[in-house]
Amino acid sequence: MSYNLIFELGTKVLNQEPLTFEEAMKLTQIDESDIPILLGVANKVRITFTGNQIDTCEIVNARSGSCSEDCKFCAQSAHHDVKIDTYPLMSQDQILQAAKRAESHGAYRFCIVTAGCGMKNDPDFERITESIKQIGSETALERCCSLGILSPDHVKGLKAAGITRYHHNLETSKSFFDKICTTHTYDERIETIKNVKAEGLEVCSGGIIGLGENWEQRVELAFALRDLDVDSVPINVLNPVKGTALEGQSPLKPMEVLQAFAIFRMILPNKILRYAGGREQALGELVPLGFLSGINGMLIGNYLTTTGRGATADLDTVRKLGLKPIAE
């Protein structure tokens, strides 16, 4: 019976023995009626390895739209016809004010995000590093950024400016990546992550579920992240945007989303699994269950081009579950 398997594999993880790929795949095949049991075991793993603190992060879309890349899910791609606000890099003061708002909302980390492939020959890079320095001098926030593909020199510049973590999603598994993006490679993303780690910085890297991938490809992504030893794993759920190549993609069922969270927790027992975009649309009133399925981090407030529940509602949910936002 599948509940016996869940307890067996849960005990293995609690004993600090890593799951094999084959064992993780068995958790994708359990009876639907046993998914709540899996969620409970994943929650026990989360408590055991990471406690009750919730890592909170707020982002700013500091440069929006007109991206050269053809990622099929993305509203900011120039390959798609989506009505969004498009603008150049915000001023240093605008970015600073966004950081101060994030701190007042209860964020522990603040992430500057820019649309585009990466920082090669990008004239905005120096202005971004100046903003990172100013945020460090005027707030107590941990600083992060998401600027696409980086060279080792870019990583050194960001480290000198004061970032402690860099965000760069793998998005999906290597075997599915070319179905999602063709304008750069999966290996380029891996290289950036390795460049960041080589400088001793933390890495925030995850992906999106519901792109059309199968369970094996989701598990493949989780194992790739484990092999890279990333620190924080944002898990987005596709929120299909009209005008993108995936606008007609069928949504995942809520229990499948929660099952995916739990399996990621079993594979990555001591990492930050971060609630990210799409959770409201995918789960609705079941959003709190994510925290009982292994989630121990979250983006609060809004996302890049879509709105969230708001930081107040997010943190209220956390507290009512007996969890503690890390900034408090």
**Which residues are catalytically annotated?**
67, 71, 74, 111, 144, 204, 274
- Amino acid identity of residue 57, one-letter, is C
Short-list 56, 57, 76, CA closest to 68: 76
Find out whether 41 and 262 touch, Cβ atoms under 8 Å: yes
Q: Look-up: residue for tokens 């909170």?
A: 56
Taking residue 196's Cβ as centre, other Cβ atoms within 10 Å add up to: 26
Q: Residue 116 and residue 57: Cα distance in Å, rounded? A: 21
* Calpha distance 212→64 (Å, rounded): 26
In angstroms, the Cα distances linking 184 to 46, 181, 234 are 35, 7, 21
The answer to whether the CB of 243 falls within 8 A of the CB of 75 is: yes
DSSP 8-class letter at 6: H
- Give Cβ neighbours of residue 155 (< 8 Å, ≥ 6 apart): 166, 195, 196, 198, 199, 201
Give the distance, in angstroms, between the CA of residue 321 and the centroid of all CA atoms in the same chain: 22
| Angle at CA of residue 204, ends 135 and 38, nearest 5° | 135
Tokens in use for 282? 């995918």
